[in-house]
Amino acid sequence: DQGYAGSYSHFGIHHEMLSDEVRTNSYREAIERNAKSLIHSKDILDLGCGTGILSLFSARSGAKSVTAVDMSDVLSHAIDIAHENGLQDIISFRKGRLENIPDINQKFDVIVSEWMGYFLLFEGMLDSVLDARNNGVSDMDRYSKTVGFWKDVYGFKMSCMREPVLEEASIEIVPSKCIISESPAEILDLDLEHCSLQDYSSFSSDFQFKMVADGKLTAICGYFDTHFELPEKAVSFTTGPHGLPTHWKQTLFYLKEPLPVKQGDLIKGSISVKRPRRDPRSLVVKLKVQDTEQKFLVD
C-alpha cells in the first residue's frame, strides 16, 4: 500500500487524470445531472479522492457533507483546493486506507469513487469500494516495435529479452483500425451494488472472435466499459479502441507468434484472471488462443 500511495503523490498522474476529459466529464455529468435525487442534502463518501475533483462536483451540486478519503500525500493539496473554492465547510478529509480509519463511523448515502485501474482491476481499489458499500454503504508495426525490437538492438542480438517482454501486458492506445475482430467478447460483468470480492479476485471465461479482415492476429486487446445506471440521467463511457482515448488506454496481451487469419475465421480461446497473494494489486492473466497458451502479468 505504501508504494501504491506514493505513486499518487506525484502531480503528473493527477494532471493526466484530470486532463482525461472522457473520464472527468463523465463523472461530472453523472453527479450534476443526478444531483436532485442522489446528491442534494446527502452525505457523500469520496473514496480515493486524489485532488478532490469528485468531492468538488458533489459539494457544488448540493451535498450536505462530503467525506474525502485518500492514502497519498496529495490530500494536503486537496484540502487547499477545497479552501480555495470556499467548500471547506462541506468537504472534510481523512488520510489513510478506509478500512483502517477508526473515526469514520457514519453511514453515507452515496459513494463516489474513480477506482478503475488498467484492465479495470489493476490496483485492487475495488476492495475498498466494496468494503465501504458493505460497511458504510493488431498491427505488425506495433508488434515488431514491442516484441521484434530485441532481434537487433544497435547491431546486437538480445533475443533473450523477448520472453520476459511477452510476459508483461502492455498498456497502449490501440488505433481502432488495428482491430480485426467483429465484436468484443465480454469476460466479466460487475454490478457494484451486488458483487463480492469472490466475483472478481479470480475468474475465467471462454471467448471467441469472428475475423472481419485477412491479416495477422498479434495481440488480444483488453478494456472495460463503465455504466452509471442512475434515475435521472444514465451515463456511460468506454475505454475501448473505438471510443475517445482515456488515460486507462487499452491492455495488450501480445501473442508469442502472430497468428495468420482470414476474414470469417472464428478464433476461440479462454482467459483466466487472478490476483496473486504476494501482490493483490497486480493481476496474473492466463490466456489461451487456439492452441497457444501464455501467462501475463499486469503490474
Confirm whether 168 is a catalytic residue. Answer: no
Distance, CA of 81 to CA of 180 (rounded, Å): 45
Q: How many CB atoms lie within 10 A of CB 183?
A: 9
Structural contact between residues 209 and 185, judged by C-beta atoms closer than 8 angstroms: yes
Going by C-alpha positions, the residue among 202, 189, 183 that lies closest to residue 280 is 202
The residue from 16, 32, 84, 123 that is catalytic is 123
Structural contact between residues 248 and 174, judged by C-beta atoms closer than 8 angstroms: no
Confirm whether 123 is a catalytic residue. Answer: yes
The residue from 21, 84, 114, 163 that is catalytic is 114
Catalytic residue numbers read 114, 123
